[in-house]
Structure 1
Amino acid sequence: MQVDKVINNNLIRSHDEKGQEVLVMGCGIGFKKKPGEYIDDGKVEKVYVLQKEERQHMEELFSSMPLECIQATNEIVEYATISLGKQLSNYLYLNLCDHIHFAIQRSKGGIPIQNALLTEIKRFYNHEYQIGMESLNIIERKTGVLLPEDSSIKICNPQ
């Protein structure tokens, strides 16, 4: 793949072998790259296939997010996809990444996160709840921030 546009040091817009527009993410993948140059396959962590209406929103969101939040999102979505046994929407990446970033900011600011439905969710959506709890482990490993149990429900909302 070749660089169409460098969004930031960790994100490049390109086209895949089918000619579909993609965002290519990887640590340092866009550093000192220029349009037309080839992308180092060894640095590719994730390739997002874009629909036309998604492109601008994904570029804006991912360009403003810390790499650790994006990496946590990728790992959580991969884990949830395997655990649930079904493909999840690309919009989940956008919403989840934004939510993780906001939850981390709230946590660092000392703003508590509470979920009044925690008991009901554990009971009626236990599988999703367990995915949410594993998500907290992933977020802590990637960002160094341990979010409270109440955050797990918002991360993997069963609705």
Structure 2
Amino acid sequence: MLEPRTSDAALWRERLEVPTYRVREAARYARTSPQTVVRWQHLGEDRPGLIAARDGGVPLSYFQLIELGVVAAMRQAGVPISEIRAARAYMARELGSRFPFAEYRFWAHGKQLFVDFDAVEGGSAKHRLLGVSAEGQLAWREILAGRLREFDYDPDLGTVLS
């Protein structure tokens, strides 16, 4: 008897969470410093990190590496740490996402971060954006068109697009 396909997907996802990348190596991929990687993961006990936390001395997983690259691109584009932190907290709280910057496509308009509302809700209208750094405020893509900057990971190219 064959096992259901969902177990294959679960095994694949588990593989992407295996600690593999040393901090120095991950920093090089993200074009930042090892100190920045550590700081972004541990902003203090009262403030969550910008990327998924890990135990000290443990390498980063593939998902954490992707998150690091997306956060680095956001910072290079001038998105404030407070907005990135707010987006991560919202995505974790409202969508249960452990690795939101690796699981969703983000756009920035000024200092605010957005995700495609229909990708979150499963719709197909493709015209609404969810302001994840603004506690879920909705925005219309047409109004912001031409002013959005996209942050996404392209697995075919193996790079963060911004």
TM-score when scaled to structure 1?
0.34
| Structure number having the greater helix percentage | 1
TM-score when scaled to structure 2?
0.34
